[in-house]
Structure formats: C-alpha cells, structure tokens
Chain A
Amino acid sequence: MSHPRTPARRGLVWAIVGGIIVLAAVGAIILSAVTAQAPTADPSPSSGPGETSAPPATAPPTGDYVDQSASEKGWAPEPITTDPETYVRAALAAAATFDTRLSTRPEWLAYLDTWFTPDTRYTSEEDREEDMRASQLELRQGVVLPEDEWNSLANEEGRVTAEVPGEITYDDVPEDASGDMRIGTADVVLTFTRSDGSGSETSYDETVRVSVQVLCGAGSIPTRESAQQPGDCKVVRYFSGSLEP
C-alpha cells in the first residue's frame, strides 16, 4: 500500500530540503550584505594639519626638581627641598594641575604617585607599603577632581593650574615621635581654562581649602633615578574632606 506513494513522499522531502536551501541562501545574501558594510567612523575630531600643538600649561620651573620635564605634560614638577613650606605649597598645587590635552588622567595620577613616601609611624615595611597604597587610593577616590570632571574638561580642551597664594597653617601629626611630619592646610586657587565652542577660550578661578601631610626628614624615600635624597620632603597623604571646622 505504501509503495506507490514513496516517490511522491521522496519528492516532498526533496522539495522541503530545497525550500530550506533557497531560504538559507537568501538569508545568507542578506546577512553578507549587512555585515559587508564598512564601519562608520566615530565623529570625534582629529588633529588637522593646520592645527598647532598645545603649549605647556605651566611655565618651565627654575630650581631643583625631581623631573623638570613634568611641566611639559602640564603637571607641576616636584621640588627637591627639605623646606616644608616650599614643599606643601607645591604638593597642594600639584594635585590640581593638569592639562587634558597633554596627558591622560591615569598618567597624571601615576605621576602624583611618585610624590608619595610611606608613613614612618608604621614600624613594619609591609604596613608602610600598605598604608601608602591606601593613601594613593584615597588621592584618586576622595581628593582630586573626579573622572567626570576630567572628561568634561577634556571635551573642551581644558586644563587646570593651581597655586597657593596665601598662608599655610600647620598641624602636628599625632603620634609622630620624629616630629618630621606636618599637616599643611591652605586655600588653593584653581584656574580652569577651556575652549568655549567658538574657538576662543574662557578661564575662571575657584578656591578650595585642602590639607596635605608631608614628611621632611629621615625616613623619606626619594623618587627612583632622581636627584632627590632621603630626608627630602615627600607626600604622606592628601586628606579627603576638610580638617577644619
């Protein structure tokens, strides 16, 4: 009974197989047409031949510095000094001096890491290293301008220079038997400069009050491959939040 229907059934099977092949072929053609389209370029601006390179944000420093070329990247160079006044002033400025045209935020933060030295109140090397890493994390998460602000500035070729024009107030560091560590607090004037969408630039100032703990004396670890010596001033930590009422 089923023998006479076998050729027809076989034909139906082939027809279904053929139909699937036809649809698969059509699908493949459509897919290849879609995927073969060239990717569109991001509309981000690129430097044209007529554009000039951005000048350094800060003037080349004079005197002794760990890396004088830091200013070429828009950063504040670290002074080589044993004078807390000079160093605190520089450290407070450094944590808000950058040029988004000349470096990335991670590069700038890595540079600021080189200013740090461990807190000598810890007796073990391991604790000192751990505390310094925590202070460097605090710098990123609680002290410097946040990444959103960096990106906002970068969108408008922004940079910031900071300076401490006034007096610095000092506090002792608790349980510091050496007396070599100090906490300096001062008003820091941040000057923001950014393009205004019409090709020209606008600048404005903002004043914040920030504290930094420095070590000027035995136990400070100099930056590698620099002229800095043990005993020269280094940063122990920047403080997130105000230390004053």
Chain B
Amino acid sequence: MGAPVAAAAALANTRTGRKIVTGAILLLALFAALLATPLIAVPFAVAGQSVATTVERRPALITNSEWAYPLAGGYFKGRGFGFNPVIGCSYCSIDHQGYDMAQGCGATVYAAGPGEVITAGSYQGYGNAVRIDHGGGLVTLYGHMQWGSLRASVGATVAAGAPIGAEGNTGRSFGCHLHFEVQRDGAAIDPQPFMAALGLQLK
C-alpha cells in the first residue's frame, strides 16, 4: 500500500510526476483509439463493400466473334481437357470433360457466348451450374459456382460477357474453381482450341 500512495503523491506534487501522468494519459488515448478503430472502420468497410458489389470488377473481353472469356482477367489454370488422371486415385475418372480455371472464391463468372440458359442450379457433379445453349448443337457449361450466386435463370437470353454467377466449390470440386465445358451435339469438346478459334486464347 505504501508504494502506490507515495507514487500518487509524487505524481501529484512533482513536475516529473505530472509529465508521467500526461504520458500515461496519451498512451491510454492511443490504446482507446486503437480499440475504437474497428467500430469506425468496419461500418465504412461494409458500406464500401455493398457499394462495390453493385459494380462489376472488370468486363469480360468480348471479341469480334461476340464471345468472351468466362473469367475476366488473369486466372490460374487447373485440369485441362481429356486424359487427366487424378494421381493416387484408381476410383477417380481419368477423363476430364472441361477446362478448370480459377481466380478465387466469389469471382464473377461470365457467359462465354450469347444464348439461352437451359440449366441454372444443381446439375449432376457440377454442383451449382449454368448451361447455355448457343444454337447449332453448341452448349457451354459453367460448373461448381457458389450456391445462391446465380444471376441467370432457365429460359433467359444472355449476351456474351453477361455475369451469370460466382466461382465456387460446389459439387465434385476440391476447391474454388470454374469448370468450363463446351459441348457440341451432346459431347464435350476441348475448350482451348474452340475458344482459340474465336480469338480467345486460354492458357
């Protein structure tokens, strides 16, 4: 008890003590400001996010062929089309029907070409998927999108570059990515040469 009382007396009666008290108060103010930062910053961040969601990040590239990349900007390439065994799994399919690409969970997925939406929702192992009929037996499929993210419904007509959903990890998927598949007359074809012929080089 003696030490605190003496300290308090010294703080009150000496110039140095007053300086220490001032320093302590400043430090306390600094701590208080630090603790209060989230109270101010979080509402601003939330408000900013809600504003940002109303604006597309970047438009998908649309070429003269009126087709677009299903993801805008750079992406990571996953499994390619065709023979593609999963190492260490005899019970996994060795034939990959599409082209896997990833920007990150929630990245906007765009319609690659104009057409009519013929699937919007759960579709086999593709999870939350959209299929677009482009006519002439040509269909594109966008798989594994986040539940609740679809912005297209069955019967709707979409243009190339129209946002249709968000990259996710639904269905038979081991991480957020887009399974982009191109089907001609019901059979999957390699998306890379198909898109390249339209002026859109995939990795």
Q: Which residues in A have some Cβ–Cβ distance to B below 8 Å?
A: 8, 11-12, 14-19, 21-23, 26, 30, 95-96, 141-146, 148-149, 152, 156, 162, 188, 190, 192, 194, 196-198, 200, 202, 204, 206-208, 210-211, 238-242
Name the distance in Å between A89's Cβ and chain B's nearest Cβ. Answer: 15
Contact between B91 and A145, CB atoms less than 8 A apart:
yes
Smallest CB gap from A143: residue in B: B90
Contact between B7 and A18, CB atoms less than 8 A apart:
yes
Contact between B10 and A11, CB atoms less than 8 A apart:
yes
Contact between B90 and A241, CB atoms less than 8 A apart:
yes
Smallest CB gap from B126: residue in A: A204
Contact between A238 and B3, CB atoms less than 8 A apart:
no
Bound-state CA distance A207–B92 (Å) is: 9
Interface string of B22-41 (1 = CB under 8 A from A): 01100110010001000000
Contact of A14 among B7, B23, B123 (CB under 8 A): B7
Contact between B89 and A23, CB atoms less than 8 A apart:
no
Total B residues in contact with A, Cβ cutoff 8 Å:
43
Name the distance in Å between A235's Cβ and chain B's nearest Cβ. Answer: 14
Contact between A202 and B124, CB atoms less than 8 A apart:
yes
Smallest CB gap from A149: residue in B: B174
Bound-state CA distance A18–B171 (Å) is: 63
Chain B residues with CB below 8 A from A194, complex form: 171
The number of A-B residue pairs with CB atoms under 8 Å apart is 124
Contact between A196 and B122, CB atoms less than 8 A apart:
yes
Chain B residues with CB below 8 A from A202, complex form: 122-124
Given contacts A11-B16, A23-B24, list 20 more A-B pairs with CB under 8 A: A8-B14, A14-B6, A15-B17, A18-B6, A19-B23, A21-B3, A22-B24, A142-B90, A144-B89, A148-B174, A148-B175, A149-B89, A152-B169, A194-B171, A197-B127, A197-B148, A207-B93, A210-B90, A239-B90, A242-B90
Chain A residues with CB below 8 A from B171, complex form: 156, 194
Bound-state CA distance A156–B11 (Å) is: 65
Bound-state CA distance A172–B88 (Å) is: 24
Give residues 121-150 of B contacting A (CB, 8 Å): 121-125, 127-128, 147-148
Contact of B31 among A30, A95, A156 (CB under 8 A): A30
**Chain A: interface secondary structure?**
mixed
Smallest CB gap from B175: residue in A: A148
Contact between B31 and A204, CB atoms less than 8 A apart:
no
Q: Which residues in B have some Cβ–Cβ distance to A below 8 Å?
A: 3-4, 6-8, 10-11, 13-14, 16-17, 20-21, 23-24, 27-28, 31, 35, 86, 88-94, 121-125, 127-128, 147-148, 169-175
Please, could you name 29 A-B residue pairs with CB atoms under 8 Å apart, sorted by A? A11-B14, A11-B16, A11-B17, A12-B10, A14-B3, A15-B7, A17-B7, A18-B17, A19-B20, A19-B24, A21-B4, A23-B24, A23-B27, A96-B91, A144-B91, A145-B89, A148-B174, A149-B89, A192-B125, A196-B127, A197-B127, A202-B122, A202-B124, A204-B125, A206-B125, A207-B93, A208-B91, A239-B90, A241-B90
Bound-state CA distance A208–B13 (Å) is: 87
Contact between A142 and B89, CB atoms less than 8 A apart:
yes
Closest 8 CB pairs of A and B: A18-B7, A196-B122, A197-B147, A204-B124, A19-B20, A148-B174, A15-B10, A15-B17
Bound-state CA distance A149–B174 (Å) is: 6
Bound-state CA distance A206–B97 (Å) is: 12
Name the distance in Å between B96's Cβ and chain A's nearest Cβ. Answer: 12
Bound-state CA distance A8–B125 (Å) is: 81
Contact between B172 and A16, CB atoms less than 8 A apart:
no
Contact between B89 and A143, CB atoms less than 8 A apart:
yes
Known: A12-B14, A152-B172, A238-B90. A18 touches B4 (CB 8 A): yes
Name the distance in Å between B183's Cβ and chain A's nearest Cβ. Answer: 16
Bound-state CA distance A145–B172 (Å) is: 11
Name the distance in Å between B65's Cβ and chain A's nearest Cβ. Answer: 32
Contact of B91 among A8, A18, A210 (CB under 8 A): A210
